[in-house]
Amino acid sequence: MRAGEVAEKAAKLVAGDRENTHGNKARNFTNIVTLWNAYLAIRTEPAAPLSALDHAHMMVLLKIARTQLGAANIDDHIDMTGYAACAGEIASGE
């Protein structure tokens, strides 16, 4: 797929399907960063660089934020479960 085709497909998704699924972009992104900022403020070591475990936790929060706008999307819950499972594996040292 050529770069222009990728950009065209992304534009169609962002303006159509994804907006229907995830709701207003600015509100969605604001909800996500609100949860991420709260997470970053309460981490055991707030000043430490982010880790793979932090990433997994923050992706769960992203999916939680997405449940608050747009149409109901079971994929958000499936993804939350997947990211939480990854977090558990990372936390257990596997």
Segment 14-48, tens digit of pLDDT: 777 777 777 888 999 999 999 999 999 999 999 99
Q: Please, which residues have CB within 8 angstroms of residue 70's CB and are 6 or more apart in sequence? A: 19, 20, 21, 22, 23, 28
For residue 53, the model assigns a pLDDT of 97
Amino acid at the residue 81: T
pTM, rounded to two decimals: 0.84
Read off the pLDDT of each residue in 9-16 and give the average, rounded to a whole number. Answer: 80
Distance from C-alpha of 41 to C-alpha of 69, rounded to nearest angstrom: 24
